Homo-oligomer: A and B are copies of this chain.
Amino acid sequence: MEIKFKPIGIVHSPFKKTEDIELQRQARTRGFDDVAGELEIFDDYKEGLKDIEGFSHIILLFAFHQAKGFKLRTRPPFEKRLRGLFSTRSPHRPNPLGMTVVKLVQRKGNILKVRGVDMIEGTPILDIKPYTPRDRKSRIRVGWLEKSR
């Protein structure tokens, strides 16, 4: 069984290649929260963006289009040990799907200006969803990440 997806848009990012993101990760402990970018939604889907501007944050689902292959044990950034792939956010996954919650700054027609960009220029956008209170979990435990922070 295979499921086929088609991009509905494209990410415009200050990061031109994967290595730029790795460098950024090392340079900043604050993460990617203030990294600005744009989501360009193709004209065919533009009408679906109505009402999105009421939301402060959106869930961006995208393809890690440059990732090739995967290993079920992987060593995350800043981490000494190999970890189970599904306990990491590595781009190298059986299905190279990415999920990032970005801040919606402004909408201009089919362009969404956002902050929190941690993907590269040209990343295919698969879906956009509103971020709602259900997505905001409290009292979370973060396993091996806890020690490595």
> Across the interface, do B128 and A132 meet the contact criterion of CB distance under 8 Å?
no
> Across the interface, do A50 and B31 meet the contact criterion of CB distance under 8 Å?
no
Interface residues on A, range: 35 or more
> Across the interface, do B137 and A131 meet the contact criterion of CB distance under 8 Å?
yes
Indicate which residue in B8, B54, B56, B143 contacts A95 across the interface (CB closer than 8 Å).
B8
Q: Is A101 an interface residue (CB 8 A)?
A: yes
> Across the interface, do A95 and B126 meet the contact criterion of CB distance under 8 Å?
yes
Q: Which residue of B lies closest to A138 (CB)?
A: B136
Most buried by B among A48, A93, A133: A48
Chain B positions within 8 Å of A53 at CB level = 143
> Across the interface, do B144 and A54 meet the contact criterion of CB distance under 8 Å?
yes
- Stretch of A11-19, A21-29, A83-91 on the interface side: A83-91
Complex CA distance for A111 and B63, rounded to whole angstroms = 26
19 pairs of residues in contact across A and B, judged by CB atoms under 8 Å: A2-B5, A3-B63, A6-B94, A48-B72, A49-B84, A50-B83, A51-B143, A51-B144, A54-B144, A55-B142, A56-B137, A56-B142, A57-B137, A61-B97, A86-B129, A88-B130, A97-B97, A130-B142, A133-B142
Instruction: List A residues at the B interface (Cβ < 8 Å).
Output: 1-8, 31, 41, 45, 47-59, 61, 63, 65, 72-73, 83-89, 93-95, 97, 99, 101, 103, 124, 126-146
